[in-house]
Amino acid sequence: MTLRKYFKVYSKFLHTSLASELEYKTNILIDLITAILSLIGSIFLLSIFFQNAGSIRGWDFEQALIIQGIYTILNGITNTWFNPNLTEIVKHVREGTLDFVLLKPIDSQFFISLKKIAPSGFLEIILGFCLLLYCIKINQINLNLSFLTLCFITIICSICILYSLWFFISTTTIWFVKTWNATEVLRSFLYIGRFPLNSFSFSLRIFFSVFIPIAFITTIPSEAFLGLSQLWKILLEVFVAMVFLFTSRKFWVFALKFYSSASS
Amino acid sequence: MVKNIIDVRNLSKSFDISSKDPGLKGTIKHFFRRKTKSLKVIKNISFEIKEGEVVGFLGANGAGKTTILKILCGLIYPSEGSILVSGYLPFRRKENFLKNITLIMGQKQQLIWDLPPIESFYLNASIYDLDKFEAKKRIKKLSEMLEIDEELFIPVRKLSLGQRMKSELLAALIHEPNILFLDEPTLGLDINAQRNLRKFLQKYNKETNATICLTSHYMKDITSLCKRVICVHNGTISYDGELDQLLKKLSPVKEILIVCQSEEDAIKLENSGFTVVNKNKNEITIKIKNNSITSSLKAILNNFEIEDLYINEPPIDEIIGKILIKKDYDL
């Protein structure tokens, strides 16, 4: 019953946000062009890195393209769901409209995380998958069920980690009110995820694995695609994703106790 | 016997407030070392509200009215005290409790800005688990009561403030709540829109027996909707009772303008022991205590030649204004 209700509500979310976005046709067109140009620019940048060196710390250009593909998918998901919803939390808290969310008989985290979608991000997701398909072909990767399951699990875990990090930062807005900059810093770190983790120095590798787990977000799924990943790494990613999701949930519930609503 | 739907006992709420000295030095100091102090905005208040009652919360800006409403609907955690709303602890925000209440804020909106209100209604209907048929039926009924029709299909951004407020009401009432928390619902509306909204709320209360808690700075909202008022001053309740009684307490006298048939009659009346406010030829204004108004008027009509007579009620805004500005007003 509850699950059915949540599906029904989500289909309404999809419908209303698509209808809202389609009110501004030019804006959608510009977003679509930006997504294509951004991907072309990123591949061009990557090709410059690999122009003189055949490979960087064991990764050649064709393999690095997989990371780019995963990054593009994640960026598309970010632009479709995280950006329109999670950045709104700051606005909701500042203007006091979080009141309306909290008074609805529905999970507030579900509502606040999924109410809007930006359809232009879909193109990035499609482009990312196209790039991955191309990479599978040029890297001569054999497609089988276990390979697809592993890839799927690692990508889902990456989405969960990224979402939890972003949601965690946005939640702090209940105390600090304005945290736009923190989510921007997170986005900047995500750009780093376009390059293999091995290409960074040891200290940076530790930093991007422990403090800001960019490594888990793009590198581990890429390794899974190339069949290079070890089982412990995948299990670790699943564990990290679960811990992040659980913590973000608990943190949200805890933070709401301190919500004081905006003055009228 | 009508049961209590809201029961508040010894409620207090404190907020941590930071203060800043003026100027650049103050700003830098504030950035590095923020001075915060705990401010008690609600101080040990108790009251109960019966099912179907319409209660107005009166008070100056910052008195604590909105904070009380937000605590009652579960948005803010209380610091001390106990609250039961419809048998629930509001801050737990249980699903059944949330299905029973609604909050309408005059200055904030929940409608989707770029879409017609009807889209927001159906979204809310799905959140409140209403099927399409039931939602359609309720939208039809409420839109008839609110007298909106074509506006349902026009994007919210193109609607006037009055039309938007009506749509906000419809969105907030689609689940037919038992308790309505209204925070300045007529803010910024023109006189006609205010009147229509009041008419609707009266009708809604009569038809559904819903309990309404209302804050408003427009006295007309309070006088036409609320029999009972709770006056909040600096986080404490300075009066809780019938509005009529409050007005009598605050304004124990009425001014009466009497037009006498001749100037001599006016002079005779002036010297007959009444408190005279003003006299101009054959017109005289006197003050009479509320509790002796019938007997005094009877005596005047019997003993003097009177052409006309006007009883001036003191403006309610003025009376209520007294309790809003005077800190130690004894009620």
Whether chain A has a CB inside 8 Å of the CB on B262: the answer is: no
Q: With helix as H, strand as E and coil as C, how does chain B read?
A: CCCEEEEEEEEEEEEEEEECCCHHHHHHHHHHCCEEEEEEEEEEEEEEEECCCEEEEECCCCCCHHHHHHHHCCCCCCCEEEEEECCECHHHCCHHHHCCEEEEECCCCCCCCCCCHHHHHHHHHHHCCCCHHHHHHHHHHHHHHHCCCHHHHCCHHHCCHHHHHHHHHHHHHCCCCCEEEEECCCCCCCHHHHHHHHHHHHHHHHHHCCEEEEECCCHHHHHHHCCEEEEEECCEEEEEEEHHHHHHHHCCEEEEEEEECCHHHHHHHHCCCCEEEEEECCEEEEEEEHHHHHHHHHHHHHHCCEEEEEEECCCHHHHHHHHHHCCCCCC
Please give the backbone phi and psi of residue A147, each rounded to the nearest 5 degrees, phi first: -65, -50
pLDDT digits over B199-214, tens only? 989 999 999 999 999 9
What pairs with residue B289 in β-bridges?
B253
Chain A residues in contact with B126 by the CB 8 A cut-off are: 5, 8-9, 12
Provide the sign of the torsion angle of the four alpha carbons A44, A50, A54, A57, taken in this order: negative
Distance separating alpha carbons of residues B113 and B128, to the nearest angstrom: 21
Place of tokens 């309720």: B138
Chain B residues in contact with A24 by the CB 8 A cut-off are: 114
> Which of A121-125, B112-116, B187-191 is predicted least confidently?
B187-191
DSSP state at residue A258: T
pLDDT digits over A59-68, tens only? 777 877 888 8
Distance separating alpha carbons of residues A216 and A222, to the nearest angstrom: 10
Whether chain B has a CB inside 8 Å of the CB on A177: the answer is: no
pLDDT digits over B218-252, tens only? 888 888 899 999 999 888 998 899 988 888 777 77
Cβ atoms of B246 and B324 within 8 Å: the answer is no
- In this complex, the residue of A15, A104, A260 whose CB is nearest that of residue B15 is A260
Whether chain A has a CB inside 8 Å of the CB on B277: the answer is: no
Answer yes or no: is pLDDT of B132 > 60.
yes
Kindly state the tokens that stand for A238.
Answer: 């699943």
- In this complex, the residue of B112, B114, B127 whose CB is nearest that of residue A104 is B127
Q: Indicate if ipTM > 0.90.
A: no
- In this complex, the residue of A8, A105, A264 whose CB is nearest that of residue B66 is A264
- Mark which residues 93-132 of A lie under 8 Å from B by CB: 95-97, 99-100, 102-106
Cβ atoms of A244 and A156 within 8 Å: the answer is no
Whether chain A has a CB inside 8 Å of the CB on B120: the answer is: yes
Alpha-carbon gap: A106 to the closest alpha carbon of chain B (Å): 7
Kindly state the tokens that stand for A49.
Answer: 């890195």
- In this complex, the residue of B93, B107, B114 whose CB is nearest that of residue A102 is B93
Report the chain A residue with the minimal C-alpha distance to residue B156.
Answer: A20
Place of tokens 């900047």: A188
Distance separating alpha carbons of residues B326 and A156, to the nearest angstrom: 62
Distance separating alpha carbons of residues B215 and A17, to the nearest angstrom: 33
Distance separating alpha carbons of residues B148 and B167, to the nearest angstrom: 8
Answer yes or no: is pLDDT of B119 > 90.
yes
Contact (CB<8Å) B123/A102? no
Contact (CB<8Å) A105/B66? no
- In this complex, the residue of A19, A104, A260 whose CB is nearest that of residue B119 is A19
CB atoms < 10 A from the CB of B285, how many?
Answer: 17
pLDDT value of residue B326: 59
Distance separating alpha carbons of residues B67 and B15, to the nearest angstrom: 11
Please give the backbone phi and psi of residue B39, each rounded to the nearest 5 degrees, phi first: -115, 125
Distance separating alpha carbons of residues B223 and B320, to the nearest angstrom: 11
Chain A residues in contact with B119 by the CB 8 A cut-off are: 15-16, 19
pLDDT digits over A181-220, tens only? 666 767 776 766 666 666 667 677 666 665 666 767 777 8
Contact (CB<8Å) A9/B127? yes
Q: What is the mean pLDDT of residues A48-70?
A: 76
Answer yes or no: is pLDDT of B99 > 90.
yes
Distance separating alpha carbons of residues A113 and A126, to the nearest angstrom: 22
- Provide the CA B272 distance to its chain's centre, in angstroms: 42
Answer yes or no: is pLDDT of B82 > 60.
yes
Cβ atoms of A152 and A234 within 8 Å: the answer is no
Chain A residues in contact with B109 by the CB 8 A cut-off are: 97
- In this complex, the residue of B107, B127, B183 whose CB is nearest that of residue A105 is B127
Sequence ranges of the domains in chain A:
3-256
Cβ atoms of B236 and B260 within 8 Å: the answer is no
Global confidence as pTM: 0.79
Going by C-alpha positions, the residue among A213, A216, A219, A212 that lies closest to residue A198 is A219
Q: What is the mean pLDDT of residues A80-96?
A: 87
- Mark which residues 26-85 of B lie under 8 Å from A by CB: 66, 70, 73-77
Containing A59, the helix (H) or strand (E) segment is: strand A59-60
Chain B residues in contact with A103 by the CB 8 A cut-off are: 73-75, 93, 98, 101-103
Measured at the alpha carbon of residue A34, what is the angle toward residues A32 and A38, in degrees to the nearest 5? 125
DSSP state at residue A106: S
